[in-house]
Amino acid sequence: MLEKGQEMNSAKRREKIAFVILGLITLLIVVPIVLTIFYVVKNGASAISWEFLTQPPRHGMKEGGILPAIVGTILLIIGTMLFSLPLGILSAVYLVEYAKDNLFTRLIKLSVVNLSGIPSIVYGLFGFTLFVVFLRFGTSILAGSLTLAIMSLPVIITATKEALESVPFAFREISLSLGASRWQTVRYCVLPYAIPGILTGTVLSLSRAAGETAPILFTVAAFYLPRLPHSVFDQVMALPYHLYVISTQVPNMPAKISFATGLVLIALVFLMNLVSIILRAHYRKKKLW
Amino acid sequence: MVAESVIKTVDLNCYFGDTMALKNLNIEIFKNDILGIIGPANSGKTSFLRALNRLNYLNPNYSQTGDIIFEGKNIRQIPDGLLRKKIGIIFALPQVLPISIFHNIAYGPKVHGVTKKAVVADIVENSLKQAYLWDEVKDRLDLSATRLSGGQQQRLCIARTLAVEPDVILYDEPCSGLDPISTAKVEDAMRELKKDYTQILVTNNTKQAARVTERCGFFLMGDLVEIEETETLFTNPKDKRTDDYITGRFG
């Protein structure tokens, strides 16, 4: 009995050690995030003021605020969402719910996977050639949103696909067996249960789109444009590009303004995540899973 | 009185890929029948049920030859939606949607265009009453259906099928996951439904077939070995294989 007890103890001890090691490794993931945010807040918070958020930049961007860049980034996120959400979700619905498994669908799936591996600067060049030059949208919100939308598609499609596939097949069977059409089945018995997963993927990819510099470089971003845009064919400033500009192109730039700009961008992305978390919780509560 | 034929299969062959699930099946089901289908696993019982409302076609490898005649019409000429509304099915495991009891049942009428709230509420109440579930759930229709017990869930499934006003109800081993008391309640519901519906009961449980059905067929490896009055089949089977199965020598 005693020996058995000792054995138990050593097994328990080993388990404890393993837990501690795993915990530490997990902590390593948290450390960079916390440090980054802490560093950005520490250096940038003092420059954040009402003026900073509501005024255009002045005096070679060293004074004033960053309003045009905030507005520009928000408009780009909205534009990206408008194009990529319907396209991405409907493509995924087609792939999962309708498409037969043949060469054509496999080709589409392969393209989706490969699209996500393309560097963002290549999307920028592609968007420039197609939207700015060939379709004559010019450097504009429209061209930039479309470029960012194409870049976001793979993640949205993949996330939606996985969310749809995780809905039990039985739900579809129930619905079809009651005489519902395919679309009714997707609309009432599949999509509602996939929404939390779709939201996660969408917000992830939109957050990435919000922070990208390369795709907007040639397609929409303005170096300095204090006035707010009037139409979708206008250029805008955008936070990531503005951050790049003031950090590298403007001499004697006070560091706290760069950090404050970064802080605003992080806050914006965080806000989007917050909205998705709230929506997700709402849907989970409504659906009595 | 000549019984009215509701479903008739003519030389029905069913395949999943290269595997033949049903061979040359000719069977006829009459109005207000409770037809039992017994047989060991993999004998084609479920494939038979799901061929009747074309659910088999959800499997992309499925193909079939021969004809199925439903109420005098070849089912090829009936749209999927209408066919499945007319021929409802109860699955082996209670499959409820993770929404309220009320909405589980209201779903069917909704997809068939019933929108008036009062009408839907009536349908829900009547369906639950017919499935012997109303008294147990009438005060908590907003409760998630997943919170019900297995037996209650299965009766909810029956109510859900009844809500779209089928002519035929198929049961695919409806009591395989239920305790004896729940099973008895489901069987009561089936006996009561006999007045208005034609029913086909696939079951692993020969005793259940003997309790509930009037005619009974024995399937083996995709063949319909024999079909008889239930009493005759169980007391005096013609085929030796039927006798072996019923007396428990295999399967």
Q: What percentage of chain B reaches a pLDDT higher than 90?
A: 45
Res. A24 pLDDT band, cuts 50 70 90 = very high
Pairing of β B73-74 and β B87-90: unpaired
Does position A127 have pLDDT exceeding 90, yes or no? Answer: yes
- What pLDDT digit, counting tens, does each position of B105-135 carry? 999 999 998 889 999 999 999 999 988 889 9
For residue A252, the model assigns a pLDDT of: 82
**Hey, are the CB atoms on B88 and A177 less than 8 Å from each other?**
yes
Q: What is the mean pLDDT of chain B?
A: 89
Pinpoint the alpha helices (H) of chain A.
2-44, 50-54, 67-93, 103-115, 120-127, 141-165, 169-177, 182-184, 191-211, 214-217, 239-248, 255-286
Q: What is the mean pLDDT of chain A?
A: 89
- Does residue B129 contact residue B121 with C-beta atoms inside 8 Å? no
**A&B contacts, CB < 8 Å:** 73
Res. A88 pLDDT band, cuts 50 70 90 = very high
**Hey, are the CB atoms on B81 and A188 less than 8 Å from each other?**
no
Interatomic CA distance for residues B91 and A163, integer angstroms:
25
The model's pTM: 0.83
For residue A64, the model assigns a pLDDT of: 83
Question: What value does the mean pLDDT take over residues A144-152?
Answer: 94
Interface contact B53, partner A, CB < 8 A: yes
Does position A35 have pLDDT exceeding 90, yes or no? Answer: yes
Q: What percentage of chain A reaches a pLDDT higher than 70?
A: 96
Gyration radius of chain B's alpha carbons: 18
Res. B250 pLDDT band, cuts 50 70 90 = low
- Does residue B109 contact residue B88 with C-beta atoms inside 8 Å? no
Select from A88, A117, A38 the least CA-distant residue to A199. A88
The beta-carbon neighbor of A178 closest among B84, B144, B146 is B84
The beta-carbon neighbor of A171 closest among B85, B97, B111 is B97
Interatomic CA distance for residues A226 and A248, integer angstroms:
19
Inside any domain, residue A57: no
**Hey, are the CB atoms on A174 and B95 less than 8 Å from each other?**
yes
Question: What value does the mean pLDDT take over residues B18-43?
Answer: 89
Res. A74 pLDDT band, cuts 50 70 90 = very high
Residues of chain A with Cβ-Cβ distance to B53 below 8 Å are 177
In chain B, domain spans: 5-246
**Run of H or E including A96:** none
For residue A80, the model assigns a pLDDT of: 95
Res. A8 pLDDT band, cuts 50 70 90 = low
Does position A10 have pLDDT exceeding 90, yes or no? Answer: no
- Check which CATH number belongs to the domain holding A272 and give it: 1.10.3720.10
Residue B100: strand pairing partners: B144
- What pLDDT digit, counting tens, does each position of B181-196 carry? 888 888 988 898 988 9
Question: What value does the mean pLDDT take over residues B154-178?
Answer: 91
Mutant choice from B70, B85, B111 vs A, greatest count of A C-beta within 10 A = B111
For residue A229, the model assigns a pLDDT of: 87
- Give the range of the structural domain holding residue A97, as residue numbers without chain letter: 67-286
Res. A4 pLDDT band, cuts 50 70 90 = low
User: In angstroms, what separates the C-alpha of A180 from chain B's closest C-alpha?
Assistant: 6
Select from B240, B241, B234, B224 the least CA-distant residue to B27. B224
Does position B151 have pLDDT exceeding 70, yes or no? Answer: yes
Q: From residue B250, give the alpha-carbon distance in Å to each of B220, B233, B243, B245.
A: 11, 17, 10, 6
For residue A128, the model assigns a pLDDT of: 94
Does position A161 have pLDDT exceeding 90, yes or no? Answer: yes
The beta-carbon neighbor of A189 closest among B85, B97, B146 is B97
**Hey, are the CB atoms on B98 and A289 less than 8 Å from each other?**
yes
- Does residue A264 contact residue A74 with C-beta atoms inside 8 Å? no
**Hey, are the CB atoms on B111 and A179 less than 8 Å from each other?**
yes
For residue A287, the model assigns a pLDDT of: 61
- What pLDDT digit, counting tens, does each position of B45-89 carry? 999 999 999 999 988 889 999 999 999 889 989 999 999 999 999
Select from B235, B245, B146 the least CA-distant residue to B203. B245
- Burial class, A245, CB count within 10 angstroms (exposed 0-12 / middle 13-18 / buried 19+): buried
**Hey, are the CB atoms on A170 and B98 less than 8 Å from each other?**
no
Nearest CA in chain A to B108: A178
**Hey, are the CB atoms on A287 and B98 less than 8 Å from each other?**
yes
Does position A63 have pLDDT exceeding 90, yes or no? Answer: no
Does position A7 have pLDDT exceeding 70, yes or no? Answer: no
Residue B202: strand pairing partners: B37, B172
Question: What value does the mean pLDDT take over residues B9-23?
Answer: 91
The beta-carbon neighbor of A179 closest among B60, B81, B147 is B81
Inside any domain, residue A58: no
- Does residue B82 contact residue B167 with C-beta atoms inside 8 Å? no
> Count of domains in chain A?
1
Does position A5 have pLDDT exceeding 70, yes or no? Answer: no
**Hey, are the CB atoms on A178 and B82 less than 8 Å from each other?**
no
Residues of chain A with Cβ-Cβ distance to B83 below 8 Å are 179
- Does residue A245 contact residue A213 with C-beta atoms inside 8 Å? no
Q: From residue A260, give the alpha-carbon distance in Å to each of A37, A212, A254, A263, A272.
A: 11, 18, 10, 5, 19
> Between 3.40.50.300, 3.10.20.70, 1.10.10.60, 3.40.50.150, what CATH number should domain B5-246 receive?
3.40.50.300
Nearest CA in chain B to A171: B97
Q: Which of B:5-24 have CB within 8 Å of A?
A: none
- Does residue A234 contact residue A12 with C-beta atoms inside 8 Å? no
